[in-house]
Amino acid sequence: MMQQRFISKTSILGATLLCLSLLLPVNVSAGGLFGGMLGGDGNGNEIDIGRLFKSAKQAFGEVDEEQEAKVGDEAIAVLLGAVPLLDNDPIQRYVNKVGRWVALQTERPKLPWRFGVLDTTDVNAFAAPGGSVFITRGLLERMGSEAELAGALAHETVHVLKRHHLKAVQKSARLDLVVMFAETRVGDEDRENLNKIASGFKELYARGLDKGDEFEADRMGVVIATRAGYDPYGLPSVLQTLGAMNPKDGALALLFKTHPAPGKRLDMLSVLFDKLDPYATQPQLQQRFQKQLAALKKNP
Amino acid sequence: MTRQLQRVLFLFLLTASTLAQGGEAARIIRDTQLKAEPFSDAATLQELKGNTQVTKESRKGGWYQIKVGDKAGWVRMSVLRLGTEQAQGSSGLGSTLQFLQTGRSGASDVTVATGLRGLDAADLTNATPDHKALEKFKQHKISPKAAKKFASTAKLKAHKMAYVKIEQHQPESSQESDGGGVEEFFGE
């Protein structure tokens, strides 16, 4: 473990641990912290307090935001290697404005949120660690309002908020990102490790997240879109549209392979409807959306 | 603009949008009541059985305005699914099975134009990471200030709202048509 290399003076370690214990959630076991940190190699490395804090966090399997962004870059490169961005600045800007507004209502408003429309007729949406969200042109063209777009983007922001992909790629590809990054000095480009991460994402995007993660993204997504002032029923409306499509339509193949069926998702979401009703008159913004869509269809 | 005029205009727009959308084939998935207005405590016009075919006319919040036989009224969004039965699945397995079915297609069936590219699992597993495209994507940036301005021009108002905690014991295999939906936990 990397953090062991930086520990040589137990007194400073003790003081730091005391500080950490005040910052960490109560359910974190102090035993685990000691277990991971004691027994340093004592080779006299200079103590870097910032690094020590980072290492303590890493001892619990959580990468920091800088590392999350690096993982995200590999994930995005994979996605864009499979399907290009739509070459249409006005629609990209519009989706970014909707998405950025929605992301401001989340618990991670300061992430460098970015949104992209993918140039494919396939119906789908994706997220990547660090604050990136993608929607396909095929899905966009089947929507009827900005509230629907906001609902779908909000669903994707939850995957970022809850670090669903980070957790899944570590589990499935047996990647210990913490160790991987600890072995790489800041500023170093460890291509070999980054390629392993890219491979993990190829499999993950093709296979999809756990169903529980998708249901959670639906539940939290409708709340986030509602917070942003949109009609709360945007995401449920998108699910209705998907459920009504012919499931043999090839444009749905990957979505249906990687997500629970739309009808099931609606069923799971319906427990929230009573809580959403007080906000049911919030705007759908059909006209603003239709105007953008018309321009896209006219000038593809 | 007077309040009355606003009301007339609203009704006009509502009617216009209803006419423009036309009816869409839909299905009631469990026993419910056809309401005179989009409220739980509105008068009940008719009892509806699960699997009843209806026509969806419009949506208002979490309610759909529908036509069934010679009656028109409102039902909760949770008890209606757009399209016909063949187009819908209640589970992941269902959706897999649907690919093997040869039933009618859904009402919103959209023909995919040929010659345009799709995206399947193999495209992803065989992808060559494109770092050039990544750099281009990184130019997609909207400042919080610009996003707020964008929201305010459409009168979108942000407000606080807590995430909704759900019962841990969700029925794993709730069937859409058997009336055993998750709503029962909340006594809808």
The predicted-structure confidence for A89-115, as pLDDT tens digits, reads as follows 999 999 999 999 999 999 999 999 999
Of residues A12 and B157, more confidence is placed in B157
pLDDT band at B4 (very low <50, low <70, confident <90, very high): low
When CB atoms are compared, the residue of A77, A261, A270 closest to B78 is A270
A126 touches chain B (CB under 8 A): no
Res. A191 pLDDT band, cuts 50 70 90? confident
Supply the ipTM of this predicted assembly.
0.79
Average pLDDT over residues A273-280: 94
pLDDT at B89 over 60: no
Q: Whole-prediction pTM value? A: 0.76
Q: Taking the alpha carbons of B8, B14, B18, B20 in that order, is the dihedral positive or negative?
A: positive
What confidence tens digit (pLDDT) does each residue in A112-141 have? Answer: 999 999 999 999 999 999 999 999 999 999
- Laid out side by side, the sheet with A125-128 consists of A114-118, A132-136, A125-128
Q: Name the token pair of A271.
A: 């427990």
Interface of A with B in 24-63 (CB under 8 A): none
Interchain CB distance below 8 Å, B76 and A273: yes
DSSP B177: T
pLDDT at A179 exceeding the cut of 80: no
Task: Give the separation between CA A143 and CA A126, rounded to whole angstroms.
Answer: 16
Q: For residue A75, which amino acid is it?
A: A
Question: Binning pLDDT at 50, 70 and 90, where does residue A171 land?
Answer: confident
The count of residues in chain B is 188
**269-298 in A: which are within 8 Å (CB) of B?**
270-277, 279-283, 285, 288
Per-residue pLDDT at B11: 52
Share of chain B above pLDDT 70, in %: 60
In what side-by-side order are the strands of the sheet with B24-28? Answer: B44-48, B32-35, B71-76, B63-68, B53-60, B24-28, B80-82
Contacts of B145 (CB under 8 A, 6+ apart): none
Q: How many CB pairs under 8 A join A and B?
A: 272
Place of tokens 């618990």: A107
With contact defined as beta carbons under 8 Å apart, do B140 and A114 qualify? yes
